[in-house]
A = this chain, B = another copy of it.
Amino acid sequence: MAAPLSGNALIAQSGGPTAVINAQAYGLIRELRNHKCIKHIYGADNGILGVLHEELFDLGNEHEAVLSGLQWTPAAAIGSCRYRVKEADYDRILSVFDAHDIRYFFYIGGNDSADTALQVFQLAQQKGYPIRVLGVMKTIDNDLVGTDHCPGYGSAAKYLATLVREAWLDAQAMATQHQVVLIEAMGRHAGWLAAAAAAARRTENDAPHAILLPERPLKMHRFLVHLEDLLARHKVVLLVVSEGIRDPNNQLYAELQRGGGSLRQDAFGHKQLGGAAAYLRDEIERHLSIQGTAIAPWWQGSLKDAVRARFNLPGTSQRNAGHFMSKTDRDEAVFLGEAAARFAVLEGASGYTVGFKPRENFQDPYEARPCLIDLKMVANQTRYLEDRFISADGYFVTQQFLDYVRPLLQGRVEIPEDEFGLPNYVKLKKFPLPKKLPPWHGS
């Protein structure tokens, strides 16, 4: 037991939304309420930007039904942002914390927000401001260091794999000529999400027939030869393409698609991707047609039989598909929020982020055990899909990966429906706290 620290708690969300980031906030709120040392539980509108602008609201004023609905409402209800906190901003953050007696700061986010939390933690230590700072891990990319997996990943993975299975039924139903179906998966740097699509495959004949990962540079010619081989065996081929695939010169195919180097960047220098599948579609149609140069020896078709290619770009739907979230992911999200609250309040943990202890053996009965991971380990680091999880030819995953991912996709969550039969998601009222400081104009 740590010495009690009395005051208010602040919850903020950061980076790309997920299906269960609100379930994490719900877990935090539910557990924090059990502790008398927590006076109020506040939210910050749009993550750390809300802190800087002193745009806080009292989560205690929300209706119970709305708070409960956070368990099944996707996409950062408290409000998120992608803002790179500047050196000079940190003093302001502490001033806002001080003005509102914030003694607990929970930042639900990925590796960028782990860095923000780390800076806040260090400055508070340096200035002697008593506060407990914890990150709470989330990302559909599953690319955070030190954890077994990240809340949000299981739901995105379940949804993407389901889309792949359905697209494969669709493609088979119309399989009267050679066709390539591409599905572009999110995953800026790492291939975890794309890899999860492998769960859709039941037999060797089923899709996905290949998964193109950012971890393996894609040589176009080698890929086209591989694709010809797949087409000879399957007639209709379904490929999952990570948005982050690169050529051997480390150039993003998404950039090549938009004429090179024209992709927008966010405040962290991350490029807004989307376009890899469109690029491949064009390459496939150009090369694998009667006019192309890469026609395989088995090719018997005529002009009208040229290989057709089309792509689906589910885009942001992958990170907010609340209608089909994984129950395991959702339940773990609530549980991880509760655990984070207990770590901070009862054990005095600060300077960590909360994730799940890595499993040693994927054959053991599955159990997700919350653990503390040093923010320094996580900040700005990327955990790439490991070699043990990628097949030797680089175009698929291993059985070990399937064993890793299987438990994360289990179960469905029943969501109340509105009068149109659509998921009845909730919206926070966000009653603003009176501001106590002069306005902030950026640094």
Contact = CB atoms under 8 A, between A and B. Distances in A.
Interface string A315-335: 111011111101010000000
Nearest to A407: B421
Interface residues of A, number: 69
A192 B423 CA distance: 21
Q: What is the interface of chain A mostly: helix, strand, loop, or mixed?
A: mixed
Contacts of A324: 323-324
Interface of A: 13, 16-17, 46, 49, 73-77, 79-83, 158, 161-163, 165-167, 169-176, 181, 199-200, 202, 264, 272, 274, 278, 308, 310-317, 319-324, 326, 328, 405-406, 409-412, 417-423, 425
A82 B200 CA distance: 26
A21 to B, nearest CB: 9
A166 B315 contact: no
A215 B142 CA distance: 43
Contacts of A410: 417, 421
A226 B423 CA distance: 29
B167 A320 contact: yes
Contacts of A77: 169, 173
Which of A73, A158, A161, A165 lies at the interface centre, i.e. has the most chain B CB atoms within 10 A of its CB?
Answer: A165
A83 B176 contact: yes
A166 B314 contact: no
A49 B174 CA distance: 11
Contacts of A82: 174, 176
B409 A80 contact: no
Contacts of A73: 169
A238 B367 CA distance: 40
Contacts of A411: 417, 421
B169 A310 contact: no
Contacts of A167: 316-317, 320
A306 to B, nearest CB: 9
Contact of A46 (B75, B176, B199, B264): B176
B308 A272 contact: yes
Nearest to A174: B80
B169 A323 contact: no
A440 B305 CA distance: 19
A83 B80 CA distance: 49
A397 B67 CA distance: 33
A17 B328 CA distance: 31
Given A73-B169, A315-B312, A421 B81 contact: no
